[in-house]
Amino acid sequence: MTDTLSSTEADIPLAEVLRGGRVESLHYGSVAIVDDTGRVVLSLGDTETPVYPRSTTKALQALPLVESGAADHYGLSDQELALACASHGGEPEHTAAARRMLEHTGRDETSLECGVHWPTNAAATRALAASGIEPRALHNNCSGKHAGFICTACAEHLDPTGYIAPDHPVMRRVTQTLAEMTGVPHTDANRGTDGCSIPTYAIPLRALALAFARFGTGKTLSADRSASADRLRKAVAAAPFMVSGTGGFDTLVMQELGTKAFTKIGAEGVLIASLPQSGLGIAIKCHDGALRGAEAAMASLLQCFGGTELAASPILQSLTRKELRNWNGIHVGEIRAASGLNKPR
Amino acid sequence: MTDTLSSTEADIPLAEVLRGGRVESLHYGSVAIVDDTGRVVLSLGDTETPVYPRSTTKALQALPLVESGAADHYGLSDQELALACASHGGEPEHTAAARRMLEHTGRDETSLECGVHWPTNAAATRALAASGIEPRALHNNCSGKHAGFICTACAEHLDPTGYIAPDHPVMRRVTQTLAEMTGVPHTDANRGTDGCSIPTYAIPLRALALAFARFGTGKTLSADRSASADRLRKAVAAAPFMVSGTGGFDTLVMQELGTKAFTKIGAEGVLIASLPQSGLGIAIKCHDGALRGAEAAMASLLQCFGGTELAASPILQSLTRKELRNWNGIHVGEIRAASGLNKPR
């Protein structure tokens, strides 16, 4: 396969990990910043070779939940809509919201096809273990997204069984939505399988950034889609804890910034943002798959491209340059965004 | 600071992560393979810029425990000596051995200065949480190394208090041993602080490989040091579970290969090996800090440079190319060593 990720001279430093005043580790990657008309505002590294966006597209995958009328049909709350866009930590608030979503349809967690894993939030895992309870599909970080797929199916009287397959009517609609938002084909040729078993389609970083520029402003979208995107963004801003949970990048950022920035992490170092006020979408791929590299870089880019308010944001400042302390609480180093990123261009 | 890690054209691919037939993520780094006379057998990427070896040097740091006579004085078992060289998982066998080491000196875990963290082994953390017990310093992955330092101090009637400081007599001896084994200075100028609060000194990868070539054969070492290294290698080969624990790279490799290969992981993507039969030491730094990249590369290098038996090793083959399955057990991809590594040179 020719269009596969490879190192190019254009790969750029995203972030560095320091210890004792030295760079101990380095993260390289690519960055695309695109406005809602498709104009490329910044392109660093390779932004055309397709990459898997993984969980960064969850909010796009949740658009059919709103557009189909399922969200209204079941009267989904902001918490529930935010959870449909989430890679949550499996904390009690998260599993409760996923359960409620399923209950709206008269179903329960046995309908979830995402698989089972212990909560990604370490404290939630320990609490679960302490209570003698084995994890269930509700704890899977994708359970809200999957509950959303089930709501979408049930509201239209479709059998949700097998909804994770590319050819299920719900997944076909989700895939069609992704193709429309990103403007690039989503076919068998660029399909991989995600951790939760639904398809993930490799697309250029530039296309991913465009999708989230559009998601942020609604420009070039139909009135219905624009309203649906707006509703999801507002739900996430109203309930940011649902998107990742305690200590999560997206939750930390949106708890402070509300509707001013929408961000979403994905596995293997992918991270997106929408900046509705400036009409920009940002997509980052850390080539080694490390989220810590993408997070520091994104915080820095949000400060640069998000206007004066984001430039002064305390949470973005703390995520741009994160102190590392060891098990005795001693300062040993830091993770910081690469210096080239934090200059306005 | 000029001698700091940076990307060079000579950085080489160590491993790649595939999904749906595409490279999803890539790991770059450097490799040094050196024989016990200091001859460089293979140098890929930058092997001269100092890197922190982190926990890869634990077996070298344990040499004073044997050389000082402390190991004999307390009659330390293979399990206990192996634990002194370990980054263990905090499993019950590990904490029990650390406790026994301290008991030999009439002390207990309150003498440990490594700090407290939950076991790195996920099942051990869940079991601890289920039993309602908070983690203690014994669960710190470095507790065996620290117990070794305390044994070294106590056998010589030194107060172990403050043994983590660079100027404590035990740590001075440890540092002197590292300088002798690697052949490069260990001073304030190249010192950082490790996760467990002892010093870690940035050194060229080539020097790290040399130290482990010597550690493997004893050549160029004093008779006493050679015997001490031999004893530690045999202890680890006899008790490989103590070095990392369930599912750990070092434990998996040495459970199969015994004394034929000594390996040790370190934080931030550093990994070393001794091949006593061929007289080689191998040191890898994955520049982004990912151990998964270093592990796949090391498995491949051990197959290439470890003779016919290692070339045919099932565990090395499985670690060179590791299948990735998702939460439903579906094959989604693999992590594999870069193809350039697995050719004999």
CA distance B101 to chain A (A): 21
Q: Find the domain containing B196 and state its range.
A: 7-337
Q: How confident is the model at residue B11 (pLDDT cuts 50, 70, 90)?
A: confident
- Residue ranges of B 11-70 with Cβ closer than 8 A to chain A: 11, 13, 17, 19-28, 50-52
Task: Among A14, A24, A114, A117, pick the best mutation site for testing chain B contact (most B Cβ within 10 A).
Answer: A24
pLDDT tens-digit series, residues A138-184: 999 999 999 999 999 999 999 999 999 999 999 999 999 999 999 99
**Is A250 a domain residue?**
yes
Per-residue pLDDT for B4 more than 60?
A: no
Check CB contact under 8 Å for B326 and A287.
no
A130 touches B at CB < 8 Å: yes
Q: Please provide the size of chain B in residues.
A: 345
Task: Among B2, B3, B14, B25, pick the best mutation site for testing chain A contact (most A Cβ within 10 A).
Answer: B25
* Contact call for residues A299 and A334 (beta carbons, < 8 A): no
**Is A246 a domain residue?**
yes
pTM for this predicted structure:
0.96
Query: What does the alpha-carbon distance between residue B307 and residue B152 come to, in Å, rounded to a whole number?
Result: 37
Contacts of A2 in chain B (CB under 8 A): none
- How large is the ipTM? 0.95
Any residues with CB less than 8 A from the CB of A45 and at least 6 apart, and which?
Answer: A8, A10, A11, A12, A28, A29, A30, A31
**Is B219 a domain residue?**
yes
Of B26, B288, B293, nearest to A5 by CB-CB distance is: B26
Residue B223 CB-density burial (10 A; 0-12 exposed, 13-18 middle, 19+ buried): exposed
Tell me the backbone φ, ψ of residue A93, rounded to 5 degrees. -65, -35
Closest by CA to B169, choosing from B147, B153, B155, is B153
CA distance B53 to chain A (A): 10
- Residue ranges of A 231-270 with Cβ closer than 8 A to chain B: 268-269
**Is B259 a domain residue?**
yes
Which residues is A32 bridged to in the sheet?
A43, A283
Contacts of A25 in chain B (CB under 8 A): 5, 268-269, 287-289
Check CB contact under 8 Å for A269 and B25.
yes
CA distance A258 to chain B (A): 31
CATH code, B167: 3.40.710
* Contact call for residues A261 and A254 (beta carbons, < 8 A): yes
- Residue ranges of B 67-96 with Cβ closer than 8 A to chain A: none
Q: How many domains does chain A have?
A: 1
Per-residue pLDDT for A105 more than 80?
A: yes
Query: What does the alpha-carbon distance between residue B264 and residue A91 come to, in Å, rounded to a whole number?
Result: 35
A316-328 as b/e, with b when 16 or more CB fall inside 10 Å? beebbbbebebbb
B66-78 as b/e, with b when 16 or more CB fall inside 10 Å? bbbebbeebebbb
Half-sphere exposure of residue B228: CA atoms within 13 angstroms, side-chain side: 22
pLDDT tens-digit series, residues B263-320: 999 999 999 999 999 999 999 999 999 999 999 999 999 999 999 999 999 999 999 9
B2 touches A at CB < 8 Å: no
Q: How confident is the model at residue B342 (pLDDT cuts 50, 70, 90)?
A: low
**Is B282 a domain residue?**
yes
- What pLDDT score was predicted for residue A343? 53
Any residues with CB less than 8 A from the CB of B324 and at least 6 apart, and which?
Answer: B17, B19, B331, B332, B333, B334, B335
**Is A2 a domain residue?**
no
Of A7, A17, A114, nearest to B26 by CB-CB distance is: A7
Check CB contact under 8 Å for B328 and A117.
no
**Is A266 a domain residue?**
yes
A328 touches B at CB < 8 Å: yes
**Is B2 a domain residue?**
no
A140 touches B at CB < 8 Å: yes
What would you measure as the largest C-alpha separation in chain A, in angstroms? 61
pLDDT tens-digit series, residues A203-233: 999 999 999 999 999 999 999 999 999 999 9
